[in-house]
Structure 1
Amino acid sequence: MTIQNSLPIKRPSRAGNLADGVYQALRRAIIEQALAPGTKLPEDSVGESFGVSRTVVRSVLGRLTVEGLVSQQPNKRAAVASPSIGEARGVFQVRRGLERTVIETLAGRLTLAQAEKLRTHVAAEEQAQNRDGPESIRLAGEFHALLADMTGNELLIRYVAEVTSRCSLILALYGRPHSSECAVNEHQMIIDALVRGDEATAVRIMDEHLMAVATRGLLDLKPARERDLKDLLSGYRAAAK
């Protein structure tokens, strides 16, 4: 007699899918500077903006808090994080160490398909460079996340994604317009060095690149213009479905 496995197959719940969609949309709204640092994120308003419950919003805000993109204090509303200059410098310092490890892992080991994927991304950065500041910052961060993905190291991938998101938030807070202008050329140089297997050059370029981004970005605080939260999030609702 055949004994069948009666254990139920676990499938993602609808609530889980909703939460992930709202998380991705809200995270992108922060990184693209639609939501400025310090913007209040009341659960009811965010929930109404995306058509989800406060329970879903609470879980999403918790994830974003762990990533450092949202700040929450007891008995206070959540808000988009506003890191201090000291915290910002610390984030960039940690990022330099992580990305050095990425470079050391990839130098001389990139496949042709991976190199082509990176160059395609850089082409998208070039198109966005003079068109839209927030998009340029987002694409620049995604280049570094893409490099980390190619290492196959899950822990490194997670940490680089988190620290890159925090740096995008820092640039939104302290950076002048087009504070990452020369990043496209630097990204191409990093790809070329990795393909050649020139680890020392790739490490040097990456380190100089991140130091330059930090220097260009850590400037005076820019006051945020007050706008209605629902209006700010209206363009991101479709992406959460």
Structure 2
Amino acid sequence: MSRNSPRAETAYQALRQAIIEQALLPGAKLPEDQIGSHFGMSRTLVRATLARLQAEGLVDARPKRTATVAQPSLEEAKAVFEARRALEREAVALVVRRWRPEYGAALEGHVREEDAAKARGDERVSIRLAGEFHIKLAAMSGNPVIERYLGELVSRCSLILALYGRPHSSECAVNEHSAIIEALRRRDAAGAVALMDEHVGSVERRALLADAPAAESELGTVLTRYAEAIEARGSAIPLPAGKRRQTP
């Protein structure tokens, strides 16, 4: 089986989403045997899955040590935001240049999802959707390199928020995203770039305030919740027998 086997893909998606939504916090241990048992995977597949996450800056997997959710230093955190601001500016400028009416509808639909998560009080989903807005925007730039690297930086910012930041403000994210869409609709490149700079700056300021994160969740419980959600969307195979009845 290759690393892209269905079970490995389910494990990758579940771990990645749990990290981005801060259900697994920086420093949380990711034992190979527990992950392998949970998803019915070989150690080789588990290591390949962790390597994918490490390449995205989400996991620290060193030889002869248990892998952990990455813990970026404050210096790394500042560098991540510096790079993100530069890419966000270019992405916005490219989207304005290549703007299509359907882009506005897609982005507004996403903002409605953010608003619904806010109304439900679903903080973790709100965090993920806030980041995915920027990934959708990067995809509209038409530049696959920007899309790839901005996606990685946005995910790493979620880690930084979990490690150093204060609680996510879903209301600010929704309002700021809506303002960016309006500037894009007007084909106002300078205005859209300025709004994006202000928005990312506010995320950075929130991220680099050293509040203590919430207590770490138990790995098996988190993996069950995320894997079953992925399975329910029809994008993964069922979990092995014995794993499906665990509940948070």
Check whether TM > 0.5: yes
Counterpart selection for 1:140 from 111, 126, 130: 130
- 1:146-225 alignment runs, 5 A limit: 146-225=136-215
The Cα offsets for residues 136-176 of structure 1, whole Å up to 9 and x where unpaired, read as 11000000000011122111110011001001111122222
1:195, distance to aligned residue in structure 2 (A) = 1.2
C-alpha contact 1:179 1:213 (8 A) present in aligned 2:
no
1:75 and 2:64 aligned: yes
1:73, distance to aligned residue in structure 2 (A) = 2.2
- More displaced stretch, 27-36 vs 178-187: 178-187
C-alpha contact 1:37 1:224 (8 A) present in aligned 2:
no
Paired letter, 2:165: G
C-alpha contact 2:118 2:171 (8 A) present in aligned 1:
yes
Moved beyond 6 Å, runs of 4+: none
1:97 and 2:116 aligned: no
- 1:14-93 alignment runs, 5 A limit: 16-93=5-82
CA RMSD of aligned residues (A): 1.8
1:74, distance to aligned residue in structure 2 (A) = 2.8
1:119 and 2:101 aligned: no
For structure 1, the residue ranges without an aligned partner over 5 or more in a row are 1-11
C-alpha contact 1:99 1:160 (8 A) present in aligned 2:
yes
The Cα offsets for residues 91-123 of structure 1, whole Å up to 9 and x where unpaired, read as 111000011110110115321111100001011
Please give the alpha-carbon distance, in whole angstroms, between the structure 1 residues aligned to 2:96 and 2:223: 40
For structure 2, the residue ranges without an aligned partner over 5 or more in a row are 231-235, 238-248
Please give the alpha-carbon distance, in whole angstroms, between the structure 1 residues aligned to 2:170 and 2:205: 10
Normalized against structure 1, the TM-score is what? 0.89
C-alpha contact 1:176 1:216 (8 A) present in aligned 2:
yes
C-alpha contact 1:30 1:169 (8 A) present in aligned 2:
yes
Identity %: 53
1:236 and 2:195 aligned: no
1:50, distance to aligned residue in structure 2 (A) = 1.9
1:227, distance to aligned residue in structure 2 (A) = 4.1
